[in-house]
Amino acid sequence: MNSKNHHQKKRFGQHWLVNKKILEKIKEIAVLNQNDFILEIGPGKGALTSKLLDSEIKKLHAIELDKDLINLLNDKFNNNDKFSLQQGDILTVNLDSINKKITKVIANIPYNITGPILDIFIGRLGITRNYNYEKIIFLMQKDVVDRILSKEGSPNAGALSVRMQLLSKIKKICDVPPSSFSPPPKVFSSLVVFEPIKNHLRLDISIEKNIDKLLRISFNSRRKMLRNTLNSILSNEEINELSESSKVCFNLRPQDISIEQWIKLAENCIKIKK
């Protein structure tokens, strides 16, 4: 298939990156080397793929959902020994055979599947990862990145920001305007780098599970004070004991609690419940 004859499919959320400066920026921040095994999600017509392959990487494995693009990509890169391609949905495809080989993940994420992709690649609290990615480079919706990077006291602060910051080091590189894509999306994007925290450096799994539970309950009613949300799992006596031992004021709303305070709450909650 000629690439000019391929039309983007709305159901796949296809907005292809065409800004050459951003394509170069992605390659630059990836800091590619001869040991890299790259997973590229949604290569589209291969604009970024070409740049990544034009480096000293060991391997690039691409996963593309759109069956109509498979022949196009194979025709374009089939003479490159470093390239392999798999047709499938990144949300359901089995990566077990290559997961431990992958060093870096690079993707322009379709906005409609951002949450599940973050769960798969950044991980979830209370669950040990079975991979060891060095970097995850995502081009994703700006407002989601802003929420992920929010600190306590910000109206954007939420369960997502606490979870992501406990699981990974995060750096926003730059914002990317709609004009950088074809067709242009209706919103701005941001280029962001995640460096997942190694399993042995993460919090104890039991603490992570408790933080996740507290976040879920608290942010389900984010306008309420902690005292009025955590009373669903704690008695008044336990709430008073937890507030005193963790030194966290339960008259605060969840978006005003720092990550360090969530950790203290979880640690002391475990002690109280023993």
Q: What's the chain's Rg over C-alpha atoms?
A: 21
125 annotated as ligand-binding: no
Q: For residue 52, what are the contacts with CB-CB under 8 A and spacing of at least 6?
A: 27, 30, 32, 38, 40, 60, 106
Residue 40 in marked binding region: no
- Residue 15 marked as a ligand binder: yes
| Residue 8, φ and ψ in degrees, nearest 5 | -60, 145
Backbone φ and ψ of 119, nearest 5°: -60, -45
CB 148 within 8 A of CB 160: yes
- Classify each residue of 193-218 as buried b or exposed e, where b means 16 or more C-beta atoms within 10 Å of its C-beta: bbebbeeeebbeeebbbbbbebbebb
Check the annotation: does 42 bind a ligand: yes
Q: Is 152 annotated as a binding residue?
A: no
161 touches 148 (CB < 8 A) = yes
C-alpha–C-alpha distance, residues 121 and 260, integer Å: 24
The answer on whether 80 is annotated among ligand-binding residues is no
Binding site residue list for S-adenosyl-L-methionine: 15, 17, 42, 64, 89, 108
Binding site residue list: 15, 17, 42, 64, 89, 108
